Structure 1
Amino acid sequence: MKRSQTVRLLLMGAAPVFLTACEPEEPVSLYKDVAECVAGAKLTQDQCQAAFDHAKSEHERVAPRYSSQSDCETDFGSGRCHTVNHGAGIQYIPLMAAYALGYYAGRPNYYQSQPLYYSHTTYGSGGYLNSGGQPIARTTGDARVTRSAMETPSRAVTMSRSGFGSSSSARGSWGGS
């Protein structure tokens, strides 16, 4: 292969990494429950409840799915997975551990919520992930994440063999709403 073709292929392969690194970060707030959200004093009780309810309703639709409980528990911990059956047979999904609220610049009263999952392997000592497996933050509270990390997936991701680990494979797609 010619040298110019090799360089072109290398640049094309690296483009997604460079584009992700340039993606601007936006502020988000992570809460374990409605009480923690209200205590944060950014939203009213009704707004916190509505955001939690939205994240909870999205949870079963977008949560990562596993064919075995042990695979799910490898990523999320013992007792942190439950079964669902939506016509595709029994699958296992992690429990919703928190929810994220993303605020959008120029729209002070507009926010988007999504479910989060706690993985004991994220950041080496544990942290919160979105349904696509992207690390969001180590703890609840305020954080900054890329806009793509707050995009709602179009459907759940089916994981096989330790879904968010190094030997995983995902089937499905996710993207903006």
Structure 2
Amino acid sequence: MKRSKSLKLALMGATILTMSACDNAEDTAAIFKDVDECAQFEGENLDQCRQGWEKAAEEHVRTAPKYTSIAECQADFGEEQCEQAPQQTSSGGSVFMPMMMGYMMGSMLANGTRSNVATQPLYRSKDDPKTFRTGDNQKVSTKTGVQPVPSTVTKAPSTKTSTVRRGGFGTTAARTSTSSRSYGG
């Protein structure tokens, strides 16, 4: 094999390894069901917990998956797990979104500062009720407390600008979704 081809193959292999290593990067985040659970955790104080919850609640309205009917939302998130969103459809109809089941925020580091993790709401799908997920349907964790999480979930979720007829947040919905926008898990 010529030297130039060997060098190209070696560079391609190094690039793939580098990209794989980036995919496995982790950050440290604090994940809690509510303010009370956060306040009971060592290293967190009530004011920080409330601020984190309020920030996540603001993001919840902005980034939660939206549905045109409560039944479609409940198909992905379960009975009693959806609420009416503050906005309406362009035709004046109601919009529905899952309830916030927890929140993630940057955890306290040794020097007293917070990590660079976006504070955001977390959800649980009907098909995987033990796992916290972001508004972009990325798996975060099944546990609460301060812990390592994939760096791919620590960025703020994208803003949802349209409602979905049947998004498919969970695994069952992903198999039956006919929408061009799928949240399959």
Q: How high is the TM-score relative to the length of structure 1? A: 0.73
- Whether 2:123 is the aligned partner of 1:117: answer yes
The residue aligned with 1:127 is 131
Q: Of Structure 1 and Structure 2, which has the larger fraction of its residues in strand?
A: 1
1:45 aligns to 2:55 (yes or no): no
Cα distance in structure 1, aligned partners of 2:165 and 2:151: 27
Unaligned runs of 5+ residues in structure 2 are 1-11
How many equivalent pairs are there? 155
Q: Once superposed, what is the RMSD of the aligned Cα atoms?
A: 2.9
Q: Distance between the aligned counterparts of 2:110 and 2:23, measured in 1?
A: 21
1:153 alignment partner, one of 152, 157, 174: 157
Report sequence identity in percent.
29
| Residue 168 (structure 2) aligns with | 163
Matched, 1:144 2:148: yes
Distance verdict in 2 for CA 1:132–1:108, change over 3 Å: farther
1:26 Cα deviation after fit: 1.3
1:25/1:119 CA distance change after superposition, 3 Å: same
> Against the structure 1 CA distance between its residues 23 and 106, is the aligned structure 2 distance closer, same or farther, given a 3 Å change threshold?
farther
What SS does the corresponding residue of 1:126 show, helix, strand or coil?
strand
Residue 85 of structure 1 deviates from its aligned partner by 4.4
Give, in angstroms, the shift of residue 163 of structure 1: 2.4
2:65 paired residue number: 64
For residues 37 and 75 of structure 1, the distance between their equivalents in structure 2, rounded to whole angstroms, comes to 27
Summarize the Cα distance change of 1:54–1:85 in structure 2 as closer, same or farther, 3 Å threshold. Answer: closer
Gaps of 5+ in 1: 1-10, 173-177
Q: Is the 8 A contact 2:106 2:119 kept in 1?
A: yes
State how far apart, in whole Å, the 1-side matches of 2:76 and 2:165 are. 11
- Contact 2:134–2:157 (8 Å) recurs in 1: no
TM-score (norm 2): 0.71
Q: Give, in angstroms, the shift of residue 19 of structure 1.
A: 4.7
